[in-house]
Structure 1
Amino acid sequence: MLLWSYFSVVLTDPGTVPPNWRPSIDEERGEVDPLNASDFSGLPANPSNERIRYCRKCNQLKPPRCHHCSVCGRCVLKMDHHCVWVVNCVGALNYKYFLLFLFYTFLETSLVTLSLLPHFIAFFSDGEIPGTPGTLATTFLAFVLNLAFALSVLGFLIMHISLVSANTTTIEAYEKKTTPKWRYDLGRRKNFEQVFGADKRYWFIPAYSEEDLRRMPALQGLEYPSKPDLDSQEF
């Protein structure tokens, strides 16, 4: 499962803005980066939609929650961050796979740490320890490194679980520090389903059911349900 999750996040495109994408009226409402009417004469003329999001590097409109990655040189749907460990951006289409990769990495390193724990404890006992000095040193270092790595991955995993519970990303959490309420926060269960899907059988594997892909637009990265009373919130 660890390798499956890893290769899924590495090989899966995080989400690319479709060519000539245009927002619907609802998607335009409350976004940032105001444009002059002359910039996009093809957009619907509606006084209630004065603000839309536009990437001046890609020269194209940006869907909600989309950000430009300076490393990839393109806009990524619901971009969370660019991860050097997977040599890929983490976005709408591979965020679940990234979280599962963290989860199974933590499990693997924890199991290795637990298996080495008796040998580590033996270092501090009064009895004779079997093995050469080189073997003992290797075992000691392996335990310390695995423990440190497991704890660091656990901290990273907890951080991302908190982001999922609020239906936000690393970039959004940084940019909305002063925002009292978040328009995409639908409650913890629905927020979780926006990333992992509603089918529980697929929660722990890097895949989605066809039913979830068909009926949950958020999994495609272009449309996201939001609170009706916060639809006009700017971000």
Structure 2
Amino acid sequence: MQRLGIAMAWNVFKFCTALRGLGSIMILLVLGVVGVSYYAVVITNYAPDLFHGGLGSVAAAVFVLILFHFLLAMLLWSYFSVVFTDPGKVPSNWKPAMDEEIGDTMPLTGPDFSGNDFTPLQTAVGSPSNSRIRYCRKCNQMKPPRCHHCSVCGRCVLKMDHHCVWVVNCVGALNYKYFLLFLFYTFLETTVVTLSLLPNFVAFFSDGEIPGTPGTLATTFLAFVLNFAFALSVLGFLIMHISLVARNTTTIEAYEKRTSPKWCYDLGRKKNFEQVFGTDKRYWFIPAYSEEDLRRMPVLQGLEYPTQPDFDTRSSNNHVQYNYISS
């Protein structure tokens, strides 16, 4: 029975790879929602007002159409940046090393830093009694700090947050900012569509006069319902991730450290924000980083993460102090 239970558990994990097959379907679904919204807002309701409406209607149509197209462009730019950007893989030549000059730094604590993830590596830090380095048994390689193995992608991902079926990719160190911008612009776009179609929705239930064919009315109704539902769901997701950025943690880490009184990577809201969005304000709202930030902020590469200066681990015999570098 025990062997049967283990076999069943293993088969369940094999189903994770089936999520890869949802890739094209989820992308088509996203594009489908965009298409329905575009047809309802632009073609059916507001573009005709540019040619057949009064001065007030034309002004309102211009405002809605400009805002709609701008947010749609930013949404699609951010979305495909998440889809096509590698979230971060462990370099083949990466290895942890002790900073002999500084001597302290990154504590290995919490559920992610204990148990079977560790393999004694005497050559890495010296004494095998206190040298526990995170090691992925599936990838057969050492794991940088904040790195996790994704069962769907089948590899370790730097600062992995989660695997998202909507973007057909992992969300990690190198595309987390793009994912947050995708959520941000999706919320704004769906809110604009909902508000712009609200008068038609109200008129539909109040027996008011609504111009258009039954097909256009059905499309408008569908677009309103879909965008209203997406706006509410994305808002909750966006609020959650804003709180994660403020504490410099990920979805996985927030779950793992739920009983930890202190988080060593929490450097304050300003620095935590900059570790995701960079310091150049011109790039905060676009899915890209400045060359200056990429050059002087190693944290954006996903391998090195500063910790609190006053985070003291020397009082615990179970903690080992390392400074992680790449070679």
Structure 1 residue 129: deviation in Å? 3.3
- The aligned counterpart of 1:18 is 91
Whether the 8 Å contact between 2:197 and 2:224 is mirrored in structure 1 is yes
**Counterpart secondary structure, 2:233:** helix
- The aligned counterpart of 1:229 is 310
**Counterpart secondary structure, 2:123:** coil
- The aligned counterpart of 2:199 is 118
Whether the 8 Å contact between 2:97 and 2:124 is mirrored in structure 1 is no
Bigger radius of gyration? 2
Structure 1 residue 141: deviation in Å? 2.6
- The aligned counterpart of 1:67 is 148
Whether the 8 Å contact between 1:30 and 1:231 is mirrored in structure 2 is no
Whether the 8 Å contact between 2:105 and 2:307 is mirrored in structure 1 is no
Match of 2:176 among 78, 89, 95: 95
Q: Percent identity?
A: 80
Matched, 1:161 2:234: no
Runs of 4+ residues over 6 Å off in structure 1: none
Greater RCO (CA < 8 Å, at least 6 residues apart) = 2
- The aligned counterpart of 1:8 is 81
Whether the 8 Å contact between 1:29 and 1:48 is mirrored in structure 2 is no
Structure 1 residue 162: deviation in Å? 0.7
CA distance in 2, matches of 1:30, 1:126: 65
Structure 1 155/28 Cα, relative in aligned 2: closer, same or farther at 3 Å? closer
Structure with the higher helix share, 1 or 2: 2
When normalised by structure 1's length, the TM-score is: 0.91
CA distance in 1, matches of 2:149, 2:257: 17
Structure 1 residue 81: deviation in Å? 0.4
Structure 1 residue 132: deviation in Å? 3.7
Aligned-residue Cα RMSD (Å) equals: 2.2
Matched, 1:76 2:157: yes
**Counterpart secondary structure, 2:205:** coil
CA distance in 2, matches of 1:153, 1:9: 16
User: Aligned pair count?
Assistant: 233
Gaps of 5+ in 1: none
When normalised by structure 2's length, the TM-score is: 0.66
Match of 1:196 among 265, 269, 277: 277
Gaps of 5+ in 2: 1-73, 99-103, 321-327
CA distance in 1, matches of 2:208, 2:93: 73
Whether the 8 Å contact between 1:29 and 1:52 is mirrored in structure 2 is no
Structure 1 residue 114: deviation in Å? 1.2
Structure 1 27/12 Cα, relative in aligned 2: closer, same or farther at 3 Å? farther
The amino acid of 2:86's aligned partner reads: D
